[in-house]
Structure 1
Amino acid sequence: MRTTRPGSAGRALRPSPPGRFGVAGLRLALAAPRPAAGLISEFRLVAGLRTHTRRSTDPVGGTPAVVLVHGLAVSHRYLTPLAVALSPTHPVYVPDLPGFGLTQRPGTAYDVSRHAAHLAAWLDAYRLDPVCLVGHSFGAEVVAALAARRPDLVRALVLAGPTSDPAARSRRGQLSRWLVDALREAPLQAPILFRDGWDARPWRVVATLSHSVRNAVEADLVRVAAPALVLGGARDPVAPARWREQAARLVPDGRSVTVPAAAHNVATTAPAQVADAIRALLAPVLER
């Protein structure tokens, strides 16, 4: 894994090969709402919607909670490997956004601002101290919007494979990149993606994609006050390295990390490497 801080020379993180995604990971990802691997499901009424959260149960004191926010057309399920990897050192929460996973489906598809508002209401409902927000893909847009609007809720920010690159900011541009990515991903992710797409309904996926490509995430990035990490796989065509480095430069206290061999779903196929990068980001934050 390699990392660079804008305006300074790059420094090496402990190199390790990306993790694998196999049958055991697939079963764990599809387990909710049943308890599995120290994770349980909770349902709470948040902003009028019955909202599902997958979270760790083992108490971890003295470290900030980490909240994982999923991307477009998916849910908590594909983030389960990362939740398990982080749970020995941090309390971990993985909410399903409105209309996705096991959360209630509203009649309309939320745009980035409404998802960010719902996530803020979710954080208020759980009464957590400022958290480390980790958003993947479309979820990175959501957490960036939240961090810009409610800095009091955010201790640190991680943008993993953030959409949408201005060089392909259209539905056609994003879909073409996702098709390329599908050829680079671990095949056993397919049942998870199919289940998540079915839960969300195709119309919601298309409408949310339209919201994504109309969202100027750059305007939120420059307002982020928390320490931030922009992370992605070396083989990610959806959020390529050039765009990730640009995004990291926009954040006042930002840096970038690349995970070798991983594609867009880096949190699923390289959870140990992503967890290590998050812990490295949080280490100096905890010392302050």
Structure 2
Amino acid sequence: MKGAVTTDVEAGGLRGRMYASRATSDVRPRADAPTFVLIHGIGVSHRYLVRLHHVLAGVADTISIDLPGFGSTPRPDRQLMVADQAAFIHDVLDQAGVGLRVLVGHSMGAQFVLEAALQRPEQVPHVVLMGPVVDVRRRTLPRQILALTKDALLHETPGSNALVFSDYLRCGPLWYLKELRVMMNYRTEERIRGLTTPVMILRGASDPIATGEWCRILARRAPAGTLVEVPGCGHVVQHTGTAQVADAITGFTGLPGSGAPEQTVNRQ
């Protein structure tokens, strides 16, 4: 990632990769300001988070992590549960000296950051779930494949599809399928009930994977939940609607705006 410091990281016998950028704003963040931490979903890597990473790094220190088994990181020798990846995120951030951390996860990454916020609520002042999975009414593999296909064909750009599907190839079918079972079995709609941290559910308004009704269910079940929709975007909203997503996140966390032109979002 251009301009980011890349570090191989290890915790609990698992290895990943961290991409860290210092805030580039002329106004330096406070010493106690939180760091944005971006977490990818199943089968992919930091690459489809790069646009959002660079915009957020304009206002605060920002880190993207390639989790064990994804991107070009080594495949673990065992299946990893959501709680395992959540613990890994905290452990490598601790090693890097990160204090408060705003966790931003996409798709299955939303499960990882939700679980991480439950593990250490005192270190997570805000959490953002982008395109969260798995819709309680569509928890079958055929329905997920259908929604993914519809999103790729109708609501994504050639660029976002290229990033996602090339990363799927790098991940490989064995590890993808092993972690897919974990994703399908995780009960986001139940786990979010215990979240005391303020949470923003963020989706592309045309996303057929994280549907509007599903995201409204999550926002209602969270003790402190809000829903934001970005018009004209599908599942990979952070890549196709970067400015809107960044402004929603900075507004939610109370940090200065990204400096991008005013964008339209629907807040509920």
Q: Does 1:47 align with 2:12?
A: yes
Query: Matches of 2:162 and 2:197 in 1, distance apart?
Result: 36
Does 1:175 pair with 2:145?
A: yes
Structure 2 residue 63 is the aligned partner of structure 1 residue 98: no
Which of 176, 193, 196 is equivalent to 1:205? 176
Q: Which residue of 1 aligns with 2:44?
A: 74
Q: CA deviation at 1:219?
A: 2.4
Q: Specify the code of the residue in structure 2 equivalent to 1:119.
A: I
Look up the match of 2:109: 139
Equivalent in 58, 61, 64 of residue 29 of structure 2: 61
Question: Partner residue of 1:119?
Answer: 89
Contact 1:49 1:103 survives alignment (8 Å)? no
The amino acid across from 2:238 in the alignment is: A
Which of 135, 154, 162 is equivalent to 1:165? 135
How far off its partner does 1:58 sit?
4.3
Q: Does 1:258 align with 2:223?
A: no
Decide whether the 8 Å contact of 1:226 with 1:253 is kept in 2.
yes
Greater RCO (Cα-Cα under 8 Å, separation 6 or more): 1
TM-score, scaled relative to structure 2: 0.88
Residue of structure 1 aligned with 2:246, choices 248, 251, 275: 275
CA contact (8 A) 2:160 2:236 kept: no
Structure 1 vs Structure 2 CA RMSD: 1.7
1:42 match: secondary structure: strand
Query: Is the 8 Å Cα contact of residues 234 and 263 (structure 1) preserved in structure 2?
Result: yes
Could you say what secondary structure the match of 2:78 adopts?
coil
**How many angstroms does 1:193 deviate by?**
2.1
Q: Distance in 1 between matches of 2:22 and 2:97?
A: 16
Asked if structure 1 preserves the Cα contact closer than 8 Å seen for 2:79 and 2:179, the reply is yes
Q: Deviation string for 1:27-62 (max 9, x for gaps)?
A: xxxxx4xxx1x3231112222233201221446422
Residue 247 of structure 1 pairs with residue 212 of structure 2:
no
Give how far 1:213 is off: 1.0
The residue type equivalent to 1:42 in the other structure is T
Deviation at 1:196, TM superposition (A): 1.4
Distance of 1:276 and 1:58 partners within structure 2: 16
**Residue identity matched to 2:42:** L
Provide TM-score, normalisation by structure 1. 0.82
Q: Single out whichever of 102-111 and 249-258 deviates more from structure 2.
A: 102-111
| Cα offsets for 1:162-207 (capped at 9, x unmatched) | 0000010122221111111111200122332233112211111112
Local SS of the residue matching 2:68:
coil
Alignment of structure 1 residues 212-231 onto 2, 5 Å = 212-231=183-202
How many correspondences in the alignment? 250
Looking at structure 2, the residues matched to 99 and 136 of structure 1 have their Cα atoms a distance apart, in angstroms, of: 17
Distance (whole Å) between structure 1 residues aligned to residue 132 and residue 164 of structure 2: 18
TM superposition shift of 1:106:
0.8
Q: Is the 8 A contact 2:203 2:229 kept in 1?
A: yes
CA contact (8 A) 1:145 1:217 kept: no
SS in structure 1 of the partner of residue 77 of structure 2: coil
Deviation at 1:274, TM superposition (A): 0.5
Q: Is the 8 A contact 2:23 2:60 kept in 1?
A: no
Identical aligned residues as a percent: 35
* Corresponding residue for residue 262 of structure 2: none
Distance in 1 separating the partners of 2:79 and 2:114:
19
Distance 1:173 1:100 in 2: 24
Q: Structure 1's 264 and 148: CA in aligned 2 closer, same or farther, altered over 3 A?
A: same
